[in-house]
Structure 1
Amino acid sequence: MDTMSVNVATVRSAVSLADARQSAREFLEGLALPASAAETADTVVLVVSELVTNALRHGGGTCSLDMTARPESIEVAVHDRSPQAPRMRNPDLNDGTGGFGWPMVNHLARATAVTRQAAGGKTVSALLAR
């Protein structure tokens, strides 16, 4: 299979987080993954959800989502306006302020990267097994 790259969604508010998830599902359906790949699809959608949530919460309120499929992997890339990289922190179990998403993404992905953009902002990407 050739590489397939699609700008899946531009997410402009927390309300459209559901749209990002749905766009990711539609992208994966277009790949015609075998039925046994349902867990892979769930993992990709979870990573999309976490990266988009973090971008909306910490990256300036808007972001865009790109997904690329390769024969052995799927890359999720989220672009936002903040130059600040995600950080590992101890999750706060008492006040529910988060801290779980970035460690989870790092656990689920083969690799993660943060690339600062010359024009400002950054891209956070995760490479997932297909």
Structure 2
Amino acid sequence: MNDTTIPDTSAPPAGTVVRGDSTDSIHWARTAARTFTDRLRPAPAPDLADTLVLVVSELATNALRHGGGRFTLRLFAGPGTVTATVSDPSPAPPRGRAPDLDGATGGFGWHMVRRLTQALTVTPGPGSGKTVCAQFAR
């Protein structure tokens, strides 16, 4: 089952939530992130929008692959920040691993997320899972 919430384009982007449990939901998370930044006023720099979409894609993918097979993405904007949180049911914290340069099995995502965010935290919850919070300066 894919429980995806698409942002309402008629309302201001105070907050957006996307829930996913399939690889299709990664697409919806990216679309929601792009729509969210497109509707922010003042508009963020194009590189911030692109970076947010990339980080959301990586965090959603990691939640599906390593975090229990489902995620909840929340997007928020404040006067000086844009924040994306991704929650999943696994209590295990993300960990970097050596990128696979030959076998195409990954290992780049967590390293990339850490370099692209201004602030990155991992906290317990909800429930027995965890939430990864990525914050960007506007």
**TM-score, structure 1 as length reference:** 0.90
Aligned counterpart, 1:15: 24
Partner of 1:81: 89
What is the match of residue 72 of structure 1? 80
Alignment RMSD: 1.5
Structure 1 stretches of 5 or more lacking a match? none
The answer (yes or no) to whether the contact 1:8–1:24 under 8 Å persists in 2 is no
Amino acid at match of 1:20: A
Where relative contact order (Cα < 8 A, 6+ residues apart) is larger, the structure is: 1
Structure 2: 5+ residue stretches without partners = 1-12
Q: Distance in 1 between matches of 2:114 and 2:105?
A: 19
Runs of 4+ residues deviating >3 angstroms: none
Quick check: 1:54 aligned with 2:57? Answer: no
| CA displacement at 1:118 relative to structure 2 | 5.9
Equivalent residues of 1:60, 1:82 under 8 A apart:
yes
Give the aligned length: 126
- Distance in structure 1 (CA, Å) of the matches to 2:133 and 2:70: 16
Identity across matched positions, percent: 48
C-alpha distance after superposition, 1:42-86 (max 9, x if no partner)? 001001000000001111111110011011111110000001111
